[in-house]
Amino acid sequence: MSDAVTLSEPRPGVALVTMEDREHKNTFTDALQVGLGEVFQEVGADERYKTAVLTGYGSFFCSGGTRDALLNIQAGGATFQVEDRPNVYSLPLDCPVPVISAMQGHAIGGGLSMGLFADLVVLSRESVYTANFMKYGFTPGFGSTRVFPEKLGTALGGELLLTGRTFRGAELAERGVPFPVLPRKDVLPTALAQAENLAEKPRTSLVMLKAHLTRRLRAELPGVIEEELAMHEVTFHQPEVKSLLMSRYGT
């Protein structure tokens, strides 16, 4: 497995998936994407796991696409869909057992989309959450146009997507997000307590109920991705996008 992602079992039946690419601040490097794919495959296949908690390190949950990858898409060399590799952003949704996103740190762009594809979500009051696609001039991807309204509501989800604004967790709590928003130190312990509660249930029942609850979202997602990619064909290749990526990325 990639060193960027580790798998442990802190409590019986609970898989703890930790993203810890400190050099790249948990951006979607090849190492992080491959590591996540391998770990989630193991979690789904191992009958002893009844649930999974996905988290990051320190003040970073997941920082989304790298600038090099985004510039490559802008130049027409790639899309955010990678051939012969699982869609990293939807791994929490595709995992057969329930997944809890313990977003103790900043979650940016595709990193926030991935976190919202989990079944349960815990946010940090101090951390930054943003769908910053439009900050760089291109329309959102990573299934965000479907999952943001689904999990945050039409008004708030649309605001994040349209404006590219940055929100602290405390501000999202004031806006009424339907998730716990806690001090950073409490995010992972709370998620693990939720996971321990889930792990008391039979795995078969958890798998069947998750499949039922996510059926509509899973059915609609491929069509949404096609529409996002079609918008990218128009919006990503504008010269302003390259300029904004060069001047604003990471700010």
What are the catalytic residues?
232
- As a whole number of angstroms, the distance between CA 158 and CA 145 comes to 8
Where does residue 12 rank: exposed (0-12), middle (13-18), buried (19+ CB within 10 A)?
exposed
- State which amino acid sits at residue 106: H
CA-to-CA separations, 224 to 81, 119, 150, in angstroms, rounded: 13, 19, 13
Strand partners of residue 18: 6, 55
Query: Which three-class secondary structure state does DSSP give residue 25?
Result: coil
Gap between the Cα atoms of 225 and 90, Å rounded: 11
Strand order in the sheet with 106-108: 60-62, 106-108, 128-130, 166-168
Helices (H), 24-82: 30-45, 67-74
In one-letter notation, the amino acid at residue 202 is: P
Q: How far apart are CA 197 and CA 27, in angstroms?
A: 31
Query: What are the structure tokens assigned to 136, written together?
Result: 């760089």
